[in-house]
Amino acid sequence: MAVQQTVGPDPYFPDNGDSRYRVHRYELTLDYRPGPNRLAGTARINAIAGRAPLTEFQLNLADFRIGRVRVDDRQPHYTHRGGRLRIRPAKPVRAGAAFTVEVHWSGNPKPVASPWGGLGWEELADGALVASQPIGAPSWYPCNDRPADKASYLISVTTPSAYAVVTGGRLLTRTTKASTTTWVYEQSVPTSSYLVGLAIGKFQTVLLGDPGPGGVPQHGHIPAQLLPEFSRDFARQPAMMELFQELFGPYPFEEYAVAVTEEELDVPVEAQGLSLFGSNHVDGARGSERLVAHELAHQWFGNCVSIADWRQIWLNEGFAKYAEWLWSERSGGRSAQQLAASAHRLLSALPQDLRLADPGRKSMFDDRLYERGGLTLHAVRCALGDDAFFLMVRSWVRLHRNGSVTTAAFVAHVARFADEPLDGLFEAWVYGAALPPLPMPGTRAAV
C-alpha cells in the first residue's frame, strides 16, 4: 500500500511546494516552437485541500507571463514573483475538498537557478530537454514542487512536425495537422513533479529487445548518427531489466524509454519511465554501462518509491549505486564485495563529515553520498544474508509502491528481517559521519 507522507516545508527548499494541499492530477497542454524557444501552456490541476480550509495556496512557476488563473472556474486574487504563484481563491476551499486550478502561461523557458547550475528546461541547438532534479520542474509548468506530492499526468505537446516528443508514460495519440504534430502522453502512475522529464528533438526510435508476452516495452530515442554506438551500449539493458525484476520485484510502470541528446550532459538524469542521456554517454564501448544500470534502478528507487523530502536522498542514490554493483556482480564483472572495497578505499581518503540521514543541501549530490549509500546497503546485505536481504528489498518496494518514505521507515523495515538488532549498523553508517570498517559477508554486525 502506498504511503503518502504529510510533511511541512522541505528543510532544504522551503520555498518549493505547499503542504496545505495535494495534487491528484495535472493536465498540461503545451505548444513549443524550438526556433524562438517559445512555450505557451495551459495547466488544469485537480487537487485536494488538507485538514484546514484553504484561504490561499501557492504553486511554483518560473518567470513567465500569466494569462489567466481560475480556481473552480472563478477568478482568484494572485501574485507571481520569485518563482511563486500565490493564489487566494474567491471563496476558501473547504478542508478535505477537491478543487481545480487552471493556469495559462507563456514565454521563453529557461533553467531555474540552483546551487548546481541551471535546472529544468534547457534549450538545445535543435530541440529541448527537461531534467528537473531537484527543483527544475517550475521552469516549464506550474506545480506543487515537492517530491512527496505525487500525481498522475496527461501531457499534450504540439511542435513542428520535424521534431519528436518523448516523455514518460504511454503515448496515446500522435496527430499531424499542417506543419505541426501533437503528441499526447498519459502517465497514470503517481509521479513527483521533478520526475516529469521531456525531450524534444529529431530522434530515431528503436525497440530494445523483444519484451514478449507480459514483458516491459523498452524504447530508445536517439539521433540517427548515434544509432550504431547506442545499439552496443544499451544492448544489455533488457538483461538488466530481467535481473532487477528478479531482485527488486516487477517493473513498476507500463513502459521504459531512454532518450539521448545530440549534446553532452554532465550526468544522465532519471525521470519516471524515462532516462535522459547525453551524447557523451554513447561511445560504442559500453563505457557508461554502469550508468545505464543506475538510471534503470531509479525506476524502483526514487520513482516508484519516492522520498518524503530531500533529506532522504540517499534512499534514491544509495540503491541506484548498489544496483550498479549488483549488475556488475551478476553479469561477469567485479563482485559487489570488490566494488564495495574500492568505494571504501575512496571514501577513507576523503573528508568524513557527511551523514547520510541528513547530508545538508550542499552535499545532497556529493559523490560521497552515492558511494556511502551503496556501502550502507552492502553492510545491510552482509548482516542479513542474501536471502533475507533481497526479500527485504522486494518487500520494501511492494509496501511503499507509489508512495514516499523516510530513513526512519527504512531502518524500521530492515529490522523486521534481522535475527538480531541492527541499531549499531545504522548508527554508524547512516547517522554517524566517521567511516566504519569495510563490511564483509557473514559479518553479522557489519560495523
**H-assigned helices in 89-170:** none
The DSSP line for 189-208 is: EEE-GGG--EEEE--EEEE-
Cite the residue boundaries of each domain of the chain with CATH code 2.60.40.1730: 1-195
Nearest to 26 by CA among 196, 166, 181: 196
Cite the residue boundaries of each domain of the chain with CATH code 3.30.2010.30: 203-304
Residues 6+ apart with CB under 8 A from 328: 290, 334, 335, 336, 339
Q: Considering the domain delimited by 203-304, tell me its CATH architecture.
A: 2-Layer Sandwich (3.30)
Residue 419, Cβ neighbours under 10 Å: how many?
10
Beta bridge partners of 42: 29, 104
**H-assigned helices in 10-151:** none
Low-confidence ranges of the chain (pLDDT < 70): 1-7, 443-447
Nearest to 343 by CA among 365, 321, 319: 321
Nearest to 336 by CA among 374, 390, 293: 374
Catalytic residue among 295, 322, 324, 371: 295
Q: Considering the domain delimited by 307-431, tell me its CATH architecture.
A: Orthogonal Bundle (1.10)
- What residue numbers does the annotated binding site cover? 294, 298, 317
Residues 6+ apart with CB under 8 A from 194: 132, 133, 134, 135, 136, 137, 145, 147
Q: What is the DSSP letter of 90?
A: S
Quickly tell me which residue has 548498489 as its cell.
322
- Which one-letter amino acid corresponds to residue 435? L
* Burial group, residue 330, by CB count within 10 angstroms (0-12, 13-18, 19+): middle
Q: Kindly state the helix (H) or strand (E) to which residue 140 belongs, with its residue range.
A: none
The DSSP line for 258-318 is: EEE-SS--SS-EEETTEEEE-GGG--SS-TTHHHHHHHHHTTTBTTTBEESSGGGTHHHHH
Mean pLDDT for the chain?
Answer: 95
Nearest to 197 by CA among 256, 251, 250: 256
Cite the residue boundaries of each domain of the chain with CATH code 1.10.390.10: 307-431
Enumerate long-range contacts of 160-165, CB under 8 Å, 24 or more apart.
160/33, 160/34, 162/202, 163/34, 163/127, 163/200, 163/201, 163/202, 164/200, 164/201, 164/202, 164/203, 164/205, 164/221, 165/198, 165/199, 165/200
- What residue numbers does the annotated binding site for Zn(2+) cover? 294, 298, 317
The predicted-structure confidence for 393-447, as pLDDT tens digits, reads as follows 999 999 999 999 999 999 999 999 999 999 999 999 999 999 999 999 976 544 4
Q: Active site includes 370?
A: yes
pLDDT value of position 214: 82
pLDDT value of position 212: 82
CATH number, domain 1-195: 2.60.40.1730
Residues 6+ apart with CB under 8 A from 413: 392, 395, 396, 399
Catalytic residue among 21, 26, 256, 370: 370
Q: Active site includes 295?
A: yes
